[in-house]
Amino acid sequence: MTDRADAVDTATDELRSAHDALAELYAERLADVLDRTPADRAVLGLFCDLLGEHHAGHVIGDIGCGSGRLTPFLRARGLRPHGVDLAPEMVRVARRDHPGTPFDVADVRKLPFADASLAGVVCWYSLMYLAPRDRPRAFAELARVLRPGGYLATAFKVGDDRLRRGGQRVGVAFDIYWHSPAWMERAVTTADFKVVFSACRPADPEEDQPQGYLIARRGPASP
């Protein structure tokens, strides 16, 4: 595996460069943000509970892991996260700040995991950048690497599904989509997942938009 995912298009290069530039900022500012976001903790806790004791010690993918801030939470619940991110700098700081946890440069559209090898995948604010043409491939990849009955958990900024430019507040720019909960439910259902939890919370004072959460179980459709 190289430390650079395949260059595929201009938007991806722009996204990767932006997140390379943001990596140290993420490490500084977001390391303990989970302590201040009870809704995030609750949904991630539900994801861990759904995986159950049976999956304790199993590998789960932290897809678009950024600086790896979810790692302590997931490890404390007996899971073995394996982070991947498009941005090499994010992977570098994640490795530095969370020694003992594997992190690799990879793209959600081409994941470095074998078929049905993971008990769960977490995509925390990392599925918001996919261009329409890339979405089927990305969701199919998530389904491919999950074992039947495995769980996907995702958090996302809620909006009207239109293309926007993001990152300007922190001096970068990239394409981003704020998805509706209905959009996210459709995307996972189309990829043979069954939605088991979906919620939306209002924006906090420092946020621009409500936040969405979804957990889905990979088919077969019922346990």
Q: Which stretch binds ligand SAM (CB under 6 A): 107-115, 139-147, 177-185, 194-202?
A: 107-115
1/14 Cα distance (integer angstroms): 22
Q: Is 66 in the site for ligand SAM (CB under 6 A)?
A: yes
* 20-39 burial code (b ≥16 CB/10 A, e <16): bebbeebbeeebeebeeeee
200/166 Cα distance (integer angstroms): 21
Nearest to 125 by CA among 98, 90, 76, 171: 90
CB burial of residue 17 (10 Å; 0-12, 13-18, 19+)? middle
The CB-nearest residue to ligand SAM is 66
* 153-165 burial code (b ≥16 CB/10 A, e <16): bbbbbbbeeeeee
* Smallest separation, CB 129 to ligand SAM (Å): 4
Which residues 24-63 are close enough to bind ligand SAM by CB under 6 A?
30
Say whether 67 sits in a helix, a strand or coil: coil
* Smallest separation, CB 198 to ligand SAM (Å): 19
* Smallest separation, CB 149 to ligand SAM (Å): 24
Q: Which stretch binds ligand SAM (CB under 6 A): 48-56, 65-73, 74-82, 200-208?
A: 65-73
Among 90, 118, 145, 153, binds ligand SAM (CB under 6 A): 90
Which residues 123-182 are close enough to bind ligand SAM by CB under 6 A?
124-126, 129
Given the rule CB under 6 A, which residues bind ligand SAM? Answer: 15, 19, 30, 64-66, 69, 85-87, 90, 107-109, 124-126, 129
